[in-house]
Amino acid sequence: MAETASDAKTVPAPDVRGVLTPIFLRQVLDALEDGGGASVKALVDPLHAADLAHLLGAMDAGDRRALVAALGTDFDPEVLSELDEDLRTEIVRLLGSKGIADAVKELDVEDAAYVLEDLEDNEKREVLAQVPVEDRAQVVDALLFPEASAGRLMHREFLALPGRLTVAEVFSKIAAPEAPEDFQEIYVVDDEQRPVGFVALSRLLRATAGTTLSEIASTEMTVVPAVTDQKTFAYLFEHYHLNSAPVTDDFGRLVGLLSAGSVVEVLQEMHESEVLALGGVADEESLSAPILKTTRLRFSWLFVNLLTAILASIVIGFFENSLQRVVALAILMPIVASMGGNAGTQTLTIVVRALATKALNPANLWRVINRELLIGTANGIGFALIAAGVTWVWFKDPWLALVIGSAMTINMIAAAVAGILVPVGLERAGVDPAVSSPVFVTTVTDVVGFLSFLGLATWILLR
């Protein structure tokens, strides 16, 4: 029966009807406390899967257990693909193997693989044993591909036809029961099932009945091998403005397609990971991650930061006598290091982003280095004049003003150089520059800042 306007599910807007606000959360918690399963379902049923995922994330573990239990078999499997890893693992444990098996039957293959990928091998076997053979084979096939590859994320429902078919014959194929329910293009394949072009539905509808697919097919398309990593195919979609792309196996045969919707999610996750990494936070960390796991993830980079801070302190220790003789040095020293650190972070952020989007490459590396050197020098001279002027007025010492001005210029230039060379060098060494660069750039600016400022002060003021 066709769904009427009155029967259609209305998805409340979070910022309009109060969904996912403290008031709505309180309503759900009160309903759970009263033990009214029907009341809970009435509140939660209109939610989109993504909003229900946010609701689960806003609850504590006990309330999440109560909500999952209250929903029972009405729990929407689509929610699992919207949860972060730690929260998804928790909900999977609550659903049990039968609940996960039921979810796998309803989810798209790529989403089912996403749900199963973090389970232990024995748990995967237990769940898959309860899934029909055909669905199980597709999910297992998806899990054989690397986690962040095109083969793992591709849609396996598509329409591929030989180019010799006429438009009339294509329409009969589309009407067949085995045809995919949702598609936007028809891929034209040769006798070996290799993609040779595609026909958009809009173009198909405008063609005459006797026209063959080959005559109206576009051969300008970007083919993505199934083993392609997500950074590469995300770049292809962003660079060429793709709506979709065929995915091929090792023999060049069409095995799936990537959609822009899936790639948008990948790009968002990549950008979030870059932001977290620049803050020294692992991308596995989330608000729902266990405290011990979060502590362990943060500890490693904090420990590296401690070692680099000790290195900077050792440099300061070399000038202990100078600091004792001129108290003003201790007052002004943090200014030089802080300005260098901020300048280095600015350059670093731009360079890491440029590396991720392939805007920075060997062909333009020296041009970018020269550009950042000019910017660093200009900013260094500008802030050197400001810092020197303030120092002269504050301490009435022109030589001290000369020292801080010179040190400021040196450190701003060093920050620009480190902000480029550190991430570029780390990437060439096979290390993620977003994760490792900030610690090393900060170390460079601290050491160069302290060394130039205290070294010049010792040479000029205390000789």
Kindly report the CATH number assigned to the domain that includes residue 41.
1.25.60.10
Do 131 and 189 lie in one domain? The reply is: no
Residue 39 lies in a domain: yes
Residue 17 lies in a domain: no
Cβ–Cβ < 8 Å for 79, 49:
yes
Residue 348 lies in a domain: yes
Total tally of structural domains belonging to the chain: 3
Do 74 and 40 lie in one domain? The reply is: yes
Do 112 and 41 lie in one domain? The reply is: yes
Residue 66 lies in a domain: yes
Burial class (CB in 10 A: 0-12, 13-18, 19+), 125: exposed
Do 34 and 119 lie in one domain? The reply is: yes
User: Taken in order 146, 301, 316, 396, is the CA torsion positive or negative?
Assistant: positive
Give residue 280's region: left, alpha or beta (phi > 0; psi -120 to 50).
Answer: left
Do 168 and 249 lie in one domain? The reply is: yes
* Amino acid letter for position 278: L
Do 388 and 318 lie in one domain? The reply is: yes
Do 192 and 240 lie in one domain? The reply is: yes
Q: What is the pLDDT of residue 371?
A: 86
Residue 198 lies in a domain: yes
Do 132 and 175 lie in one domain? The reply is: no
pLDDT tens string for the chain (463 positions)?
A: 334 444 444 444 444 343 467 888 888 899 898 887 788 888 888 888 888 888 888 888 888 899 998 988 888 888 888 888 778 888 888 888 888 888 888 888 888 888 888 788 888 888 888 888 888 888 888 888 988 899 998 988 899 999 999 999 999 998 888 888 888 899 999 999 999 999 999 999 999 999 999 999 999 999 999 999 988 888 888 888 888 999 999 999 999 999 888 888 777 777 666 665 555 555 555 555 566 766 666 566 557 666 766 676 677 777 777 766 677 888 888 888 888 888 888 888 888 878 877 778 787 888 888 888 888 889 889 988 998 998 898 888 898 899 989 998 998 899 889 989 998 998 888 877 876 788 888 888 888 988 898 888 888 877 6
Last residue of a domain, one of 254, 278, 302: 278
Residue 228 lies in a domain: yes
Do 314 and 438 lie in one domain? The reply is: yes
Do 166 and 92 lie in one domain? The reply is: no
Residue 2 lies in a domain: no
Do 172 and 251 lie in one domain? The reply is: yes
Which CATH number goes with the domain that contains 257?
3.10.580.10
Do 149 and 168 lie in one domain? The reply is: no
Q: Which domain holds residue 267?
A: 160-278
Per-residue b/e over 385-400, b at no fewer than 16 CB within 10 Å? eebbeebbeebeeeeb
In angstroms, the CA 144 to CA 151 distance is 9
* Amino acid letter for position 358: K
pTM: 0.61
User: Taken in order 26, 30, 36, 39, is the CA torsion positive or negative?
Assistant: negative
In angstroms, the CA 39 to CA 37 distance is 5
